[in-house]
Amino acid sequence: MDATTSHSDRVLSVVVPAFNEAETIDELLSQVLASPVVAEIIVVDDGSTDGTRERLRALEGREPRIRVVLHEKNRGKGAAVRTGFAEARSEIVVIQDADLEYDPSEYPVLLQPILEGNADAVFGSRFLSGSSRVLYYKHRLGNGFLTFLSNLATDLNLTDMETCYKAVRRDLLQSLDLTQERFGIEPELTAKLSRAGARVYEVPISYRGRTYAEGKKIGWRDGVQAIWCIWKYGVLHR
């Protein structure tokens, strides 16, 4: 923490869903802790079997801002995120994947519209003007298609509905009845923010995508599930 940063500047709870991320979790948490706006990090280990939870126990003991919650078996990103949301205590909450694809130094950009009183939720878009690693054109098409369907259902004008970086006021976030266990949490959260009348902003972020060989987990079945969730939460309003 530098000389110009006080504890009152720490307004952010960072929820980190983690499943078999032993190779990246130490570096990721180091980057998150370096951000002056972070009040706490809630890491939800979702049944890891590669040594991730052992590394987390060691880190938790050394850093008071880190809290670790363990799922005894793998339930999915949505379940881990919902567990973290329930544990959050700070004014604003953001989701942070554990795989180093997203840059924690960009938290202030995400928070600015909320802190200025203009937004209730801010999505970090990989497709506005941030730099990104060039990977998987089919994923870009799929993301664009899902964002298009979500926008039709919610009447939001997003460019990146599937982004991990969603920062939301904690009181609003904890009032939402979220149920999805896997990657369907993204369209569900988007639809329920829209239905709640939230003021949603987008800001550009950078992105360092990883390959499947490097540990990327989302697949085509998750895309099909996302379409169902857009219909269920955005159209049927379940």
Per-residue pLDDT reduced to its tens digit, 17-33: 999 999 999 999 999 99
User: What CATH number does the domain containing 73 carry?
Assistant: 3.90.550.10
DSSP bridge partners of 186: none
* Residue scoring higher pLDDT (100 or 139): 100
Per-residue pLDDT at 212: 46
Per-residue pLDDT at 7: 56
Per the CB < 8 A criterion, the answer to whether 111 and 11 are in contact is yes
Average pLDDT over residues 124-132: 78
Q: Give this prediction's pTM.
A: 0.89
Q: Has residue 33 been placed in a domain? A: yes
31-57 per-position pLDDT tens digit: 999 999 999 999 999 999 999 999 998
Q: Has residue 53 been placed in a domain? A: yes
Number of Cβ atoms within 10 Å of the Cβ of 220: 10
Residue whose tokens read 């850093």: 63
Per-residue pLDDT at 219: 66
What lies within 8 Å, CB to CB, of 93 at 6+ separation is 12, 13, 14, 15, 84, 85, 167, 168, 169, 170, 173
Q: Has residue 5 been placed in a domain? A: no
Question: Edge-to-edge strands of the sheet including 166-169?
Answer: 66-71, 38-46, 12-18, 92-95, 166-169, 121-125, 200-204
Q: Has residue 149 been placed in a domain? A: yes
Q: Has residue 204 been placed in a domain? A: yes
pLDDT bin (cut points 50, 70, 90) of residue 3 is very low
Q: What is the extent of the structural domain holding 180?
A: 11-235
How many domains are there within the chain? 1
